[in-house]
Chain A
Amino acid sequence: MHSVDFFDARIVEGTTTSIVLDNGKIEQVAVNYTKGAGVRALCGGSWGFTSADGDFDIDKAIASASELAVSMNDKSPKENAKLKEIDNPSVTDLPKVKIDPQDISLEEKVRHLQEIGSYAQKDGISSSSAVYSESAVKVTYIDSNGTKGEYDLIRTGFAISAVASENGVYQAGRESRFGVTGYEIFDQSNAEELAENAANTALELLSAKPAKGGSMPVILDPELAGVFAHEAVGHASEADLVLEGSSILENRIGQQIASPLVTIIDDPTMHAYGYYPFDDEGSQARKTTIIENGVLDSYLHSRETAEKLGGVPGHSRSQGNSKPVVRMSNTYIDSGNSKFEEMLEEIRDGIYLIGSRGGQVNTGEGVFQFNAEKGYLVENGELTGLIRDVSLSGKTLEILNNVKMVGNDLSMNSGRCGKSGQLVPVTDGSPHLLISEALVGGA
């Protein structure tokens, strides 16, 4: 039946529960149970892929993917693709769940979320929302070389947002924590305090002034610097983008591309939201140093790109039944030894940018743009006025070279990253960074 060179299958089965509160009122309670499979087959240089939902027949799915691969190889033959050989993955260090969320009743979860959400309902807050989600998944992997792996993983998390309004001006604050932990995430992250923080951010932004744009020295807080590490550097280090010619990091391995203060790591073994024991093509998860002391050390690889470019696989992921692509996991700029106070002293006059409302990057040209949640003017080494609607943009390599100080205060933030239409859980983080020159956009 299989005149193909390789096939593999990933079966994912899981239950998710989500609760959405709006101004303390339940807006949605939903339970979802799904099962599905993603099957790949390789013939020559062509991939066939089949995804199936619900009650599927795995042999049929493998046959259908194989048929696609064979017929693609007939119709548009190309250079043979080879995959890096891998050992059977070992699953030894799964995160320990203290309180299984499935043991807590839906009523209790709703009550708990309402209590946490109430901390965001301060005077001046016109609306607030709180979201809880939990998922329990079982992932099974097999391939035609006999590789086998299986694990169960629980993810939980919550997000609180608050909107303040005054004279037609609206400002929002948001805090969230997601992780590979059980129901204990609420206690571990001090949810009540986070809810208050979200409200406080929204309230203080009402009186913040819009920023004045221009080129200037900036300090990035750990959240925004983490977004930079992920968006601008992490994506450009994904080997599939390197191979297709849309990364500025192509042909740069071994070169000094950043200030020697900069080390950037992607570590799926870290027990954070981007954790996995093996990736979605069966490769053991491994910590990968992308940039070491300013020198580009490694790209992130799938089995195919690792074989082609020479590297170690372990960064190929997929959402649900989709086809795996090269992805990040937990990405961070490693701690340095500067204190935040020293950075203020050094920068003298500039802007301190805090938090992130998302961003985008063009990895081919190496340009990026992201919006900070807020910022402070720094005047004469002191934080002065609060500013809003402020964004950072520039060229990735210039920013990497303009890093003048790296803080000693690494912290991580959880979120989801989109690529090829698929969302996967990730974290990113950094200590505070001082950048000697960057383009700040304002209103």
Chain B
Amino acid sequence: MYELAQKGLKAALSMGADEAEIFIGEGHGTSFDIRKNEIEGAKESTSQGLGIRVVINGAVGFASTNIMSRIEDTAKNAVSSAKVRESDPDWKALPSDEKYPNVSGIFDTELKNMELDDCIKKAIDMIDGAKTVSNITVTSGNFSRGFGKSLILNSNGIEIEEMGTTVSGFVDTITNKGETSTAYDFEISRNNDIDFEIIGKNAAELARRSQDAISIDPHKTNVILHPFAFSDLLDSTFVPSIDADNVQKGRSNLINKLGEQIAAENISIIDDGLLDGGIETGRSDDEGVASQRTNVIENGVFSSYLYDSYTAGKDNVKSTGNGSRSSYFSTPSVGTRNFIVDVPGSDIIEDTEEGIFINTVIGAHTANGISGDFSVEARNAFTIKDGMIDKPIKSLMISGNMFDMLKKIDGAGNDLRKVGSTVTPSIRIPDMSIVG
């Protein structure tokens, strides 16, 4: 891998690149799809590929391939794509001089070497978990286990290699007797520490509890959003506004708001590339900048945008280690690392006289990522009466604005949960509009 990257780097520089960067990604995965209470089959995938970024006279070009033997052709394509561009005055340089911190909990040998039998057993555990609840069918589901490696090399001396493992489980369940209702649950981890039976059981119980739903009239009330619902909304309505690229392009609601109170006082949000065992944890980001912890909101005060090295250069600040690539065939852009919502918790349902508890929402991605306005369908929603979950609700839409919501948050649960890379408890917002 290392020799190949060296070869690519040399090729790019000899073709006229002033700076060059090679990113190599490699992945091996095993997964099983579940269909109607049965494991449908086994999948094994291997992926590998490389992306080359070159800079010529301040213009950046990029090319990628998954045919490793074509590394020199790819360097040539990257060079010609740089040559059609004019010099970019905002381009500073590829990263250099980074000191990498140590991270932990992202590689588990057990996961890397897990045998097919063990994987199958975990997938069956999810189905069995769901079967502990009567009249439930697992409609679909998935178990996946993966091992990945990446290497970044650039002409400024950056060399960083990383390895990691992940495992995840997901099930979708439906009731097969009485009123039809559905629910899902999932978990993802870097270590072999997931209880797969619980995933099935949780989804099944939720589908079951959502039966015999009532209709409600439109009104304003306390709404508690489960970590699934809150993280989904946060991703679509808040995250785009802290992306420095959107800010620099005038597409953010948080332009010129640094230092302002934008959320209730007891709310902090941290972007953390170093979280022990985090899904987005690593020693560096995807362009070789050392990972760090960045306070985005500190006690309600907006403290930082998130930067990759290009946007940081443009604002004359240091990258926050948020250069992110979805794959070897994409150039880096700003992306969150582990995104942690920190609000003091309590027995939030018990503390709520009256209101609504919402497990998941559908349609969050249709929200307005600039203004923060959203209007989504709530799923597996329940009324809360006298501090207890009361009745399931048939059909419910909630709408509002994330930035108004952040200021109004008046409580959180003790149920901190890793929803992929977002870490959040349940969140309570008073006086929200709901349409039944």
* The one of A31, A210, A321, A443 that contacts B81, using a Cβ cutoff of 8 Å: A31
* The one of A28, A53, A240 that contacts B47, using a Cβ cutoff of 8 Å: A53
- Interface set, chain A 418-442, CB cutoff 8 A to B: 420, 439, 441-442
A71 within 8 Å of B by Cβ? yes
A367 in contact with B62 (CB, 8 Å):
no
B41 in contact with A46 (CB, 8 Å):
yes
Q: Encode B367-382 as 1/0 by CB contact (under 8 A) with A.
A: 1101101011101000
Q: Encode A231-248 as 1/0 by CB contact (under 8 A) with B.
A: 000000000100111100
B363 in contact with A360 (CB, 8 Å):
yes
B92 within 8 Å of A by Cβ? no
**Interface 9-residue window, one of B247-255, B263-271, B313-321, B351-359:** B247-255
A264 within 8 Å of B by Cβ? no
Nearest Cβ in chain A — how far from B362, in angstroms?
4
Nearest Cβ in chain B — how far from A193, in angstroms?
24
A32 in contact with B63 (CB, 8 Å):
yes
Nearest Cβ in chain A — how far from B175, in angstroms?
9
A48 in contact with B42 (CB, 8 Å):
yes
A120 within 8 Å of B by Cβ? no
* The one of B117, B172, B376, B435 that contacts A214, using a Cβ cutoff of 8 Å: B435
Known contacts A246-B139, A365-B182: A33-B74 contact under CB 8 Å: yes
Q: Which residues on A sit within 8 Å (CB–CB) of B36? A: 243-245
A124 within 8 Å of B by Cβ? no
Q: Which residues on B sit within 8 Å (CB–CB) of A365? A: 180-182
**Interface 9-residue window, one of B64-72, B100-108, B186-194, B276-284:** B64-72
- Interface set, chain A 18-75, CB cutoff 8 A to B: 22-23, 25-26, 28-36, 46-55, 64-65, 68-69, 71-72, 75
Q: Which residue of A lies closest to B42 (CB)?
A: A68
Complex CA gap A368/B63 in Å reads: 40
B124 within 8 Å of A by Cβ? yes
Q: Which residues on A sit within 8 Å (CB–CB) of B88? A: 25
B174 in contact with A54 (CB, 8 Å):
no
Known contacts A169-B371, A246-B139, A393-B377: A360-B250 contact under CB 8 Å: no
A163 within 8 Å of B by Cβ? yes
Complex CA gap A69/B379 in Å reads: 37
A54 in contact with B68 (CB, 8 Å):
yes
Known contacts A246-B182, A365-B182: A76-B120 contact under CB 8 Å: yes
Q: Which residue of A lies closest to B78 (CB)?
A: A31
Nearest Cβ in chain B — how far from A72, in angstroms?
5
Known contacts A68-B41, A367-B377: A170-B139 contact under CB 8 Å: no
* The one of A28, A33, A369 that contacts B363, using a Cβ cutoff of 8 Å: A369
A362 in contact with B80 (CB, 8 Å):
no
Q: Which residues on B sit within 8 Å (CB–CB) of A210? A: 373
Kindly state the interface size class of chain A when it binds its partner: 35 or more
Q: Encode B264-303 as 1/0 by CB contact (under 8 A) with A.
A: 0000000000000000000000000000000000000000
Q: Which residues on A sit within 8 Å (CB–CB) of B365? A: 358, 360
A371 in contact with B81 (CB, 8 Å):
no
Q: How many residues of B contact A (CB 8 A)?
A: 77
A127 in contact with B180 (CB, 8 Å):
no
Nearest Cβ in chain B — how far from A50, in angstroms?
5
Complex CA gap A443/B77 in Å reads: 48
* The one of B73, B182, B218, B363 that contacts A391, using a Cβ cutoff of 8 Å: B363
A310 within 8 Å of B by Cβ? no
A78 within 8 Å of B by Cβ? yes
A106 within 8 Å of B by Cβ? yes
B371 in contact with A370 (CB, 8 Å):
no
A311 within 8 Å of B by Cβ? no
Complex CA gap A245/B139 in Å reads: 6
Q: Which residue of A lies closest to B397 (CB)?
A: A441
Q: Which residues on A sit within 8 Å (CB–CB) of B66? A: 34-36, 53-54
Q: Which residues on B sit within 8 Å (CB–CB) of A172? A: 368, 370
Known contacts A245-B36, A360-B363: A54-B371 contact under CB 8 Å: no
Q: Which residues on B sit within 8 Å (CB–CB) of A415? A: none
* The one of B38, B65, B174 that contacts A32, using a Cβ cutoff of 8 Å: B65
A29 in contact with B139 (CB, 8 Å):
no
Q: Which residues on A sit within 8 Å (CB–CB) of B35? A: 240, 243-244
Q: Encode A347-367 as 1/0 by CB contact (under 8 A) with B.
A: 000000000011111101101
Q: Which residue of A lies closest to B117 (CB)?
A: A75
Q: Which residues on A sit within 8 Å (CB–CB) of B44? A: 48-51, 64-65, 68
* The one of A50, A75, A364, A371 that contacts B120, using a Cβ cutoff of 8 Å: A75
B377 in contact with A29 (CB, 8 Å):
no
Known contacts A30-B81, A50-B44, A439-B395: A72-B39 contact under CB 8 Å: yes
Complex CA gap A240/B249 in Å reads: 43
A389 in contact with B63 (CB, 8 Å):
no
Q: Encode B70-99 as 1/0 by CB contact (under 8 A) with A.
A: 100110011011101110100000000000
A289 within 8 Å of B by Cβ? no
Query: Residue among A48, A54, A69, A370 with the most chain B CB within 10 A?
Result: A54
Nearest Cβ in chain B — how far from A390, in angstroms?
8
Interface positions of B (Cβ within 8 A of A): 33, 35-36, 38-49, 61-70, 73-74, 77-78, 80-82, 84-86, 88, 116-117, 120, 124, 137, 139-140, 172, 174, 176, 180-182, 218, 249-251, 253, 329-331, 362-363, 365-368, 370-371, 373, 375-377, 379, 395, 397, 399-401, 433, 435
A-B contact pairs, 12 of them (CB 8 A): A26-B85, A32-B63, A47-B41, A69-B42, A110-B84, A165-B250, A170-B368, A358-B363, A364-B139, A365-B181, A371-B367, A441-B399
6 nearest CB pairs, A to B: A47-B41, A371-B366, A170-B370, A369-B377, A29-B81, A246-B139
Q: A163-B251, A170-B370 are in contact. List 9 more A-B contacts (CB 8 A).
A: A30-B331, A31-B63, A36-B66, A46-B41, A48-B44, A51-B46, A110-B85, A359-B366, A443-B373
